[in-house]
């Protein structure tokens, strides 16, 4: 234990104690599958923190400097997930006796607008859906502000859901349904390979060199304290999302819970969100009326929060707090709010729509990727006014 900062050991123990408490509570009150979902969340939180696996910074690195290591790791993560998911979706879970569903959503105007807004806002807020969660939990003050306004934006997004969902849509397009699992794997892996080549080409053209092994390496690798190489993070995230699919019956998602938390708080202060169209849909109405802990997205988010808290204390960096000034505060407010709003329009964030959507063979995931990336290009320009 002498390798850890002694001052951070109590916080590490608190994180472990809280995790054990919630595991026991979920086991007593909700059952084994909630325990598994929470455990997977813990794994996601630790992986996200130790591998520093975020979309925002990686995209910005490519947009500004054509450095593609993070994007290449994300493509590898998607490739693993496409193979694992294609052979699972529609089949019986390994954990419970029932079929699993993918993250399939419509190809619609709301997805285009929402993903563009999200991509723009995440550059201001400084993190995407998963990134905001794990960095806020690991002690980043600015990201805590981003998270609070992410929740508010998600709630406002649910209020406007009727308008956005009434805009033109091509409906859901699932490659697994249109073709079959193996054809889907072939098509998506081919496209991911082309993307990998394209990003690599642009990096080598701009910087006159590219090191494809950079994602396998990190300075001072330590399995307990981190940091971990991007490749390890990519593989683990794909595997953990696969476990989530089998435990929850659907892939990993993050932002639905933010809207739900906002709706619960709004109810407490006297706003009857149950009258809003979104909260009368099948799953949202069930989630609103039930315990928040019955919602698997909330449970996995709690796991990510505590996983990141444990990881940051293992790394000895919980005490490294950054200061926040008025400009950064404003960036966090705007970024957080519009990420939440955009995520509701786009049926999820970089996790629920991009990662889980593409892994599930849903074309909306690719549309999300394209328009969020375009939004990020403008977001990187706007960011210069705040950072």
DSSP code for 92: B
Q: How far apart are CA 197 and CA 28, in angstroms?
A: 50
Going by C-alpha positions, the residue among 357, 366, 363, 365 that lies closest to residue 89 is: 357
Residues 92/350, Cβ–Cβ less than 8 Å: no
Q: CB nearer to other proteins: give 163 or 201.
A: 163
Residues 114/343, Cβ–Cβ less than 8 Å: yes
φ, ψ of residue 3 to 5 degrees: the values are: -75, -20
Q: CB nearer to other proteins: give 160 or 264.
A: 264
Please, is 119 exposed, middle or buried when counting C-beta atoms within 10 Å of its C-beta (0-12, 13-18, 19+)?
Answer: buried
CB of 160 to other proteins, least distance (A): 14
φ, ψ of residue 30 to 5 degrees: the values are: -125, -25
CB of 230 to other proteins, least distance (A): 27
Q: CB nearer to other proteins: give 134 or 228.
A: 134
CB of 228 to other proteins, least distance (A): 23
Residues 236, 241, 246: CA angle, nearest 5 degrees = 125
CB of 278 to other proteins, least distance (A): 8
Q: Using CB under 8 A as the criterion, which residues of the chain lie in contact with other proteins when the complex forms? A: 11, 14, 18, 22, 25, 29-31, 33-34, 37, 90, 92, 96-106, 108, 137, 139, 141, 144, 165, 169, 171-172, 248-251, 253, 255-257, 259, 264, 281-284, 286-287, 289-298, 302, 305-306, 309, 318-319, 321, 344, 347-348, 352
Q: How far apart are CA 338 and CA 124, in angstroms?
A: 10
CB of 208 to other proteins, least distance (A): 43
Q: CB nearer to other proteins: give 83 or 244.
A: 244
Cβ-defined contacts of 212-218 (< 8 Å, 24+):
212/72, 214/69, 215/69, 215/72, 215/73, 215/76
CB of 126 to other proteins, least distance (A): 17
Length in residues, the chain: 387
Q: CB nearer to other proteins: give 98 or 270.
A: 98
Q: CB nearer to other proteins: give 85 or 199.
A: 85
Residues 71/141, Cβ–Cβ less than 8 Å: no
CB of 371 to other proteins, least distance (A): 18
CB of 225 to other proteins, least distance (A): 18
Q: CB nearer to other proteins: give 2 or 97.
A: 97
Residues 315/49, Cβ–Cβ less than 8 Å: yes
Q: CB nearer to other proteins: give 30 or 202.
A: 30
Q: CB nearer to other proteins: give 101 or 202.
A: 101
Neighbours of 204 (CB within 10 A): 14
Residues 297/154, Cβ–Cβ less than 8 Å: no
DSSP code for 147: H
Q: How far apart are CA 72 and CA 215, in angstroms?
A: 8
CB of 358 to other proteins, least distance (A): 13
């Amino acid at each position: 234990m002498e390798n850890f900062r002694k001052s951070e050991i109590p916080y590490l123990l608190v994180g472990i104690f809280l995790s054990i408490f919630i595991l026991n509570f979920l086991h007593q009150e909700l059952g084994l599958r909630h325990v598994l979902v929470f455990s997977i969340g813990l794994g996601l939180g630790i992986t996200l923190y130790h591998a520093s696996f975020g979309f925002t910074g990686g995209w910005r690195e490519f947009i500004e400097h054509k450095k593609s290591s993070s994007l290449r790791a994300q493509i590898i993560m998607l490739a693993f997930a496409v193979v694992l998911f294609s052979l699972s979706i529609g089949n019986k879970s390994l954990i419970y006796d029932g079929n699993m569903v993918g993250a399939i959503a419509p190809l619609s105007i709301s997805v285009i607008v929402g993903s563009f807004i999200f991509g723009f806002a995440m550059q201001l807020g400084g993190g995407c859906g998963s990134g905001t969660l794990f960095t806020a939990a690991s002690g980043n003050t600015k990201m805590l502000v981003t998270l609070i306004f992410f929740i508010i934006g998600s709630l406002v997004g649910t209020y406007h859901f009727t308008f956005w969902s009434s805009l033109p849509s091509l409906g859901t397009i699932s490659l697994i349904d249109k073709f079959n699992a193996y054809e889907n794997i072939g098509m998506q892996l081919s496209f991911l390979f082309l993307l990998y080549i394209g990003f690599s080409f642009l990096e080598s053209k701009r910087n006159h060199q590219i090191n494809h092994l950079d994602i396998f390496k990190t300075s001072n690798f330590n399995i307990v304290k981190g940091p971990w190489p991007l490749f390890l993070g990519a593989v683990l995230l794909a595997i953990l999302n696969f476990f989530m699919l089998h435990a929850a019956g659907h892939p990993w998602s993050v932002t639905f819970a933010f809207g739900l938390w906002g709706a619960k708080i709004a109810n407490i202060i006297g706003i009857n969100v149950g009258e809003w169209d979104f909260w009368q849909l099948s799953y949202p109405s069930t989630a609103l009326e039930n315990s928040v802990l019955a919602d698997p997205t909330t449970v996995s988010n709690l796991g990510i929060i505590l996983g990141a808290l444990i990881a940051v204390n293992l790394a000895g960096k919980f005490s490294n707090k950054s200061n926040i000034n008025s400009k950064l505060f404003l960036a966090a407010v705007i970024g957080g709010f519009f990420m939440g709003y955009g995520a509701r329009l786009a049926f999820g964030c970089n996790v629920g729509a991009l990662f889980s959507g593409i892994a599930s063979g849903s074309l909306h995931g690719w549309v999300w990727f394209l328009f969020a990336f375009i939004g990020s290009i403008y977001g990187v320009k706007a960011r210069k006014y705040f950072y």
